[in-house]
């Protein structure tokens, strides 16, 4: 089922490729009519001025044949780009460097060997000082007609990242593409946030606390990507250049700490793989210490020292290897085998993308190296520093982990349901057993009253009769004996009544309906001022003994409550077959009661217990001054 859903998602995404094709097609997007653009040239030197660099020959520059390339970290780099405007009008272009963390950037326009316009910017300057408020560094250049113009860009990369993509745009096309960039980045962030919220809700349902490590891992991952896109500098801390150059590693460390913590708990490495767990635990401690150091450095240094950046990067690489190794070991020894396979499927692309981020610190990766990826995804954003492969891999991992967590939620939900059913069955069996024991005890007491006490009373009466004959001569003695015999008769009748109430013989001999009829007659005799109507509208009478006893006791309790509490003048009792149920209804015109009143106080709890044993339902409708209507629906299949 899940594979089918993934295929459907993939099919839907492929439908968007037709719309995305125009965005990814280089000729339609980046080709500038009437302008010849040279290959990018690169020169690395120390303390060179723009006047000196302008005089350098082309042989002293290194030709870059791709849009993306790597500069030397924390060094002074010069980029040269030449433009020949073959048109007869001015052309306005945008030169864009897609790395928000380039520490110092200076743009120079050189026309006929003379330095014209210039722009000084970079991550060391407040964001609001940029002429074009975009996370990337953009420089507007005007090309005079029928003339060559050179652009020299001086870049000091700083210590965060040395890779970049250099893009040249027609000014109007760049404005149009900005809408596309904003749209797809918004899609990415919204989808991630929605998945994150869903995962949070699912974790809340599972009650498995270690899943919150994954929630925080994704949260810090989104924050890391948001910072890597340069959006944090643009939208949250535009004046704080020190924090901007440090935040990406602070969030990355949180990413590492919570991700490794989740892996430790998910695979239970503390119990299963002691040595691996020690390494993972050490990585968590290193991540926490690194975060503390970097947060302190925000107040003292404009950017992180290169040694700390390299150290952090090595820790990230080691963490990725260890996480993947832990999953592989668990798979090897068949721990969580199915979940482990899914985990590897979900995490593998993400781990590769994190490796890309680490490699770019060493000058081994830039976004041109993922050009292959541009042709296999529905949309590809060319103007961002973050690898598109990372964005897609995060979405892929979210889908996989969301599936795993939802499967866990389903398992827990089904387990809880089964447990609740078992508990309900146990309660029902206990109640059945209790009621059966009660009825058994009633029967025993009734039998003893009938066979024991009743016989003794009969014997006592016989002896009193004999004694009466012997003392017949004495008128006063005869009167006393008559009084005693009357008391014995009365006591005998009371015991017979108690015995009958405890276990009515008519219930087993004549059936439920006639036994209830006899019970109604007893209440009529006991309450002559109350009119009691009894109707039976069913022929079903093949009920088991437990069902007959429970129904009889329910009706007995209902009528007793009416006599005690209702002050009713008329009562109607009905037993009706309603579809596949036996409906028992009792209605009176008494004083009624407030529905909010405790049912235990009204004597209904024992009735509800018996109804529950029969898997029936009970409803009560009453209000002060309007009488009471109680109806029971008892499934016939549970009565036979």
Within 8 A by CB and 6+ apart from 631, the residues are 583, 584, 585, 618, 619
pLDDT bucket at 3, cuts 50 / 70 / 90? very low
Query: Is 341 among the domain residues?
Result: yes
**Do residue 567 and residue 626 come from a single domain?**
yes
CA distance 318 to 280: 10
What ranges in 333-453 are assigned the alpha helix state H?
A: 337-361, 371-374, 388-448
**Sign of the CA dihedral running 390, 394, 395, 397:** positive
Q: What does the alpha-carbon distance between residue 308 and residue 124 come to, in Å, rounded to a whole number?
A: 19
Same domain, 8 and 105: no
Q: Which two tokens stand for residue 7?
A: 């295929």
Residue 490 lies in a domain: no
Closest by alpha carbon to 35, among 179, 173, 234, 212? 173
Give how many domains the chain has, as a whole number: 4
Q: Look at residues 551, 552, 620, 631 and name the one whose alpha carbon lies nearest to residue 592.
A: 620
Q: Is the pLDDT assigned to residue 595 strictly greater than 90?
A: no
Mean pLDDT to the nearest integer, 400-404: 84
Does 140 lie in the same domain as 183?
no
399 located within any domain: yes
Q: Residue 136 phi/psi, 5° resolution?
A: -80, 165
In a domain, 637, yes or no: yes
| pLDDT at residue 7 is higher than 50 | no
Q: Which of 420, 437, 457 is the last residue of a domain?
A: 420
Say if residue 153 is in the same domain as residue 5.
no
pLDDT confidence of 483, banded at 50, 70, 90? low
Of the given ranges (3-12, 67-76, 367-376), which has the lowest mean pLDDT?
3-12
Q: Is the pLDDT of residue 582 over 80?
A: yes
Last residue of a domain, one of 357, 387, 420: 420
Whole-number Cα distances in Å, 337 to 267, 341, 452, 541 = 10, 6, 71, 57
- Give which of 214, 223, 246 is closest to 343, Cα–Cα: 214
- Assign 41 a pLDDT band (cuts: 50, 70, 90): very high
Tell me the mean pLDDT in the region 528-546: 83
DSSP state for residue 566 in the 8-state scheme? I
Q: Using the predicted structure, report yes or no on whether residue 2 has a pLDDT greater than 60.
A: no
- Tally the residues of the chain: 640
Q: Give the residue, 473 or 601, on which the prediction is more confident.
A: 473
The yes-or-no verdict on residue 414 having pLDDT over 50 is yes
User: Higher-confidence residue: 267 or 120?
Assistant: 120
Question: Is the predicted pLDDT of residue 307 greater than 90, yes or no?
Answer: yes
User: 274: phi > 0 → left, psi -120 to 50 → alpha, else beta; which?
Assistant: alpha
Per-residue pLDDT band at 21 (split at 50, 70, 90): very low
The C-alpha atoms of residue 83 and residue 213 are separated, in whole angstroms, by 52
Judgement on whether residues 223 and 343 belong to the same structural domain of the protein: yes
Per-residue pLDDT reduced to its tens digit, 252-286? 999 999 999 998 988 888 887 888 899 999 999 99
Domain assignment of residue 489, yes or no:
no
Residue among 38, 46, 69, 43 at smallest CA distance from 56: 43
CATH of the domain at 599: 3.30.565.10
One domain, residues 338 and 209: yes
Query: In terms of domains, do 197 and 283 share one?
Result: yes
CA 549 to chain centroid:
48
| Whether residue 231 is found in the same domain as residue 260 | yes
Domain-embedded: residue 371: yes
Q: How far apart are alpha carbons 430 and 428 in whole angstroms?
A: 5
Tokens representing residue 44 in the block: 């690395």
Whether 447 maps to a domain, the answer reads no
Q: At residue 179, does pLDDT exceed 90? A: yes
Q: Where residue 294 sits, what CATH number does that domain have?
A: 1.20.1070
Tell which of 153, 173, 193 closes a domain.
Answer: 173
Q: Per mean pLDDT, which of 7-16, 43-52, 411-420 is the most reliable?
A: 43-52
Does residue 372 register a pLDDT over 60? yes
| Residue owning tokens 């891999």 | 393
Q: Are residues 207 and 168 in the same domain?
A: no
The percent of residues above 70 in pLDDT, for the chain, comes to 80
Number of H helices, E strands in the chain: 20, 16
Residues 6+ apart with CB under 8 A from 119: 106, 107, 131, 139
Neighbours of 535 (CB within 10 A): 10
- What residue numbers bound the domain in which 1 lies? 1-29
Same domain, 106 and 119: yes
Q: Quick one: 149 and 274 in the same domain?
A: no
Six-digit token string for 420 = 């609740």
Q: Which residues pair with 165 in a beta bridge?
A: 68
Buried b (16+ CB within 10 A) or exposed e, 3-41: eeeeeeeeeeeeeeeeebeebbeeeebbebeebeeeebb
More confident residue, 1 or 219: 219
Average pLDDT, the chain: 82
The pTM for the full model equals 0.67
Helix (H, G, I), strand (E, B) or coil at 623: coil
Please give the structure tokens belonging to residue 406: 């939802």
The predicted model gives 141-170 an average pLDDT of: 92
Quick one: which of 310, 346, 317, 341 has its CA closest to 327?
A: 341
Domain assignment present for residue 493? The answer is no
Start-to-end Cα distance in the chain: 42
Per-residue pLDDT tens over the stretch 89-99 = 999 999 999 99
Residue 20 clears pLDDT 50, i.e. is over it: no
The answer to whether the beta carbons of residues 144 and 85 sit under 8 Å apart is yes
The CATH number of whichever domain residue 74 belongs to comes to: 2.60.40.2380
The answer to whether residue 543 scores a pLDDT higher than 90 is no
Contact 283, 315 (CB under 8 A): yes
Of the candidates 129, 86, 88, 84, the residue with the CA atom closest to the CA atom of residue 105: 129
Same domain, 44 and 10: no
pLDDT score of 27 more than 80: no
């Amino acid at each position: 089922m899940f594979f089918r859903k993934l295929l459907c998602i993939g099919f839907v995404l492929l439908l968007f490729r037709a719309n995305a094709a125009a965005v990814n097609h280089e000729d339609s997007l980046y080709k500038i009519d009437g302008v010849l653009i040279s290959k990018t040239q690169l020169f690395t030197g120390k303390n060179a001025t723009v006047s000196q660099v302008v005089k350098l020959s082309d042989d002293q520059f290194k030709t870059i044949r791709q849009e993306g390339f790597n500069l030397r970290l924390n060094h002074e780099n010069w980029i040269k780009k030449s433009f020949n405007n073959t048109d007869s009008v001015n052309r306005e272009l945008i030169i864009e460097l897609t790395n928000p963390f380039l520490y110092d950037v200076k743009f120079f326009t050189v026309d006929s060997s003379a330095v014209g316009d210039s722009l000084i910017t970079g991550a060391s300057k407040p964001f609001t000082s940029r002429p074009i408020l975009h996370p990337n560094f953009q420089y507007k250049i005007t090309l005079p007609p029928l003339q060559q113009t050179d652009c020299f860009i001086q870049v000091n990369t700083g210590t965060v990242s040395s890779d970049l993509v250099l893009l040249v745009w027609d000014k109007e096309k760049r404005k149009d593409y900005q809408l596309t960039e904003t749209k797809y980045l918004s899609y990415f962030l919204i989808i991630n946030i929605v998945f994150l919220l869903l995962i949070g809700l699912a974790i809340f349902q599972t009650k498995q606390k270690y899943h919150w490590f994954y929630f925080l891992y994704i949260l810090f991952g989104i924050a890391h990507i948001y910072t890597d896109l340069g959006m944090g500098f643009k939208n949250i801390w535009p004046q704080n250049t020190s924090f901007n150059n440090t935040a990406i590693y602070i969030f990355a460390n949180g990413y590492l700490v919570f991700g490794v913590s989740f892996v430790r708990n998910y695979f239970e490495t503390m119990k299963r793989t002691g040595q691996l767990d020690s390494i993972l635990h050490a990585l968590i401690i290193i991540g926490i210490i690194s975060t503390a150091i970097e947060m302190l450095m925000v107040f003292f240094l404009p950017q992180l020292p290169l040694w700390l950046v390299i150290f952090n990067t090595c820790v990230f690489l080691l963490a990725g290897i260890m996480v993947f190794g832990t999953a592989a070991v668990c798979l090897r020894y068949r721990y969580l085998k199915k979940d482990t396979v899914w985990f590897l499927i979900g995490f593998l692309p993400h781990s590769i993308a994190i490796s890309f981020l680490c490699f770019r610190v060493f000058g081994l990766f830039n976004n041109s190296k993922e050009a292959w990826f541009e042709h296999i995804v529905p949309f590809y954003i060319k103007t961002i520093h973050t690898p598109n492969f990372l964005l897609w891999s995060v979405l892929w991992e979210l889908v996989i982990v969301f599936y795993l967590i939802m499967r866990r939620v389903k398992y827990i939900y089904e387990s809880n349901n089964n447990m609740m059913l078992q508990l309900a069955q146990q309660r029902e069996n206990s109640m059945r057993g209790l009621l059966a024991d009660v009825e058994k005890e009633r029967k025993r007491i009734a039998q003893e009253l009938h066979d024991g006490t009743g016989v003794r009373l009969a014997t006592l009466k016989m002896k009193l009769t004999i004694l009466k004959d012997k003392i017949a001569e004495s008128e006063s003695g005869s009167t006393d004996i008559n009084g005693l015999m009357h008391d014995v008769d009365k006591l005998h009748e009371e015991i017979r009544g108690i015995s009958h109430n405890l276990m009515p013989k008519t219930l087993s001999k004549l059936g439920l309906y006639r036994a209830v009829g006899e019970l109604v007659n007893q209440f009529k005799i006991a309450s002559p001022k109350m009119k009691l109507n009894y109707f039976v509208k069913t022929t079903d009478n093949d009920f088991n003994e437990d069902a007959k006893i429970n129904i009889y006791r329910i009706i007995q309790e209902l009528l007793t409550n009416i006599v005690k509490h209702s002050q009713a003048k008329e009562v109607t009792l009905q037993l009706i077959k309603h579809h596949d149920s036996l409906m028992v209804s009792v209605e009176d015109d008494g004083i009624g009661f407030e529905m909010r009143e405790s049912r235990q106080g009204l004597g209904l709890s024992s009735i509800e217990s018996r109804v529950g044993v029969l898997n029936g339902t009970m409803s009560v409708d009453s209000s002060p001054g309007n009488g009471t209507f109680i109806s029971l629906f008892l499934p016939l299949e549970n009565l036979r």
